[in-house]
Amino acid sequence: MISPDAHPRLREFAQAVRYSPTEVLTLDSERVVTSHNRSSSYTYGYKLPSIVGHKAQDVLPDDETRESRLEFIDRVLSGEQIPPFEQRRLTADGEAVYVEMYGGPIMDDNGVIVGMFASSRDTTQERLRRAARERSERQLSQSFQAASIGVLMTDLDGHVTRVNRAMCRMLGRLEADLLGRPFELLSEPADARAVPEATRHDTDEAAGLDIRTRRYEHPDGYEIWVELFVSLVTDADGAPSHYVIQGQDITQRHEHEQRLQYMVDHDPLTGLLNRRGFDHGLRERLRNADPAATKGALLLIDIDGFKRFNHARGHRAADQAVKEIAAALAAARRDFSLIGRLGSNSFLIFLEGVERTHAELIALELSPQITAAGERVFRDPESPVTASIGIAFPQSNGRDAVDNLLDHAASALYAAKEWGGNRYAIYSPED
């Protein structure tokens, strides 16, 4: 409803906002209500004719908002610019609601203030939703910090935006040291050779989950292994928003797995690689070898007449001799790529990237060292420990390369034995 006695500029304004979804009223310079739109009637239970033509102080409810609303009217009529503010009100039925209130002066063509408008938008539901969201975020934040598992968030570029106490404790770092840093850079291993071992990366595309294993250097000087579960979070429109990373300290599990793996791949008596471990390492080296480069040489070493020592001195002394010989072989040279124990008295050595002459020199060096190691146990100069050595060279990188290489080395060893032992022989396809 619009007062017919209102200033034309006030009537124009009232017509413009007649069907506005927010409550809008106009007052003249004497605080008299000149218009009041339909939305206000619906929101607060007023009847449209009930307040038009009356002064604000006569129609405002006598509640805690009365003085502040009158002050607001006076300030606007004086020309003051007042930013929007929230206010608690009571409807005609006594129900509490919250409104966002703002307003401004209305001027004539000469810039004289002839009145004002006041607009109030019901924010009760927004306030309830905001309170629920804040409560949920507070609960989430408390759960985030109280979680026993390490959790952090990163932006799409991988920079840490949030981190909980468990993650800080696990990594041995302060929150301030992590925030803003690229998370991937924290996992640089101290030993560059360990990089291939430091990463296990699985992907579950259906679950949107990456599982990664990383090795970290703790500030206190020890290593920790962490299993990371990386999830991509999207927004309401499905667009990528950020990453959530959960981390679990698996150092003990990793060490246990390493011990088990060591037991699987190593000979318990000598600590050298067993046949399985040596075979795996040899396959990997041949598979990764440069086809144009020299691949290396395999030495198959067998102690001559070892059964005689076993029967004469017993298993305990024979085992001690094997341990001494294994230690001598392991200490003989540092350029052995692989060294392992094939059987009770047989050993394997792979020399990566060596030529034939180099392999022969090494075989000649090893023979007296094997004899000296045996002498430390058996102490019998009349019956020294000697060894026969078969040498073979890889011919290919194919699937059968390892099996063929072992067969060739065994053929060369057999030839060395046939020639009386205590010597080396080199495999030749013509033999």
pLDDT digits (tens, 9 = 90+) for 42-99: 444 555 457 888 898 888 877 788 898 899 999 999 998 888 998 888 776 778 888 8
The phi and psi torsions of 223 (rounded to 5 degrees) equal -95, 145
Name residue 265's amino acid: D
Sorted by where each starts, the structural domains of the chain and their CATH numbers stand as 8-125 (3.30.450.20), 147-255 (3.30.450.20), 266-426 (3.30.70.270)
**Percent of the chain topping pLDDT 70:** 89
Question: How many other CB atoms sit within 10 Å of the CB of residue 307?
Answer: 11
Return the pLDDT at 279. 92
For 348-404, the pLDDT digits (tens) are: 999 988 889 999 999 999 999 999 998 888 887 778 889 999 999 988 766 678 888
Q: Which residue has the tokens 């609960």?
A: 139
From the list 80, 78, 60, 81, the residue with the least C-alpha distance to 69 is 60
Q: What are phi and psi of 307, to 5 degrees?
A: -60, -35
Q: Single out the residue of 425, 404, 405 nearest to residue 414, CA to CA.
A: 425
Q: Has residue 207 got a pLDDT over 80?
A: no
- Token pair 């935006």 in the structure block, residue: 161
What's the predicted TM-score (pTM) here?
0.54
Cβ neighbours for 338, distance < 8 A, ≥ 6 positions apart: 273, 278, 281, 282, 285, 348, 349, 350
* Mean pLDDT within 220-240: 89
Q: How many residues does the chain have?
A: 431
Amino acid at the residue 358? H
Residue with tokens 């390369």: 401
Buried b (16+ CB within 10 A) or exposed e, 281-291: bbeebbeebee
What's the burial of 119, exposed, middle or buried (CB within 10 Å: 0-12/13-18/19+)? buried
- Measuring CA to CA, how many Å separate 187 from each of 176, 219, 313? 17, 12, 54
% of residues, the chain, pLDDT over 90: 38
How far apart are alpha carbons 26 and 40 in whole angstroms? 12
Give yes or no for a contact between 53 and 78, defined as CB atoms under 8 angstroms apart.
no
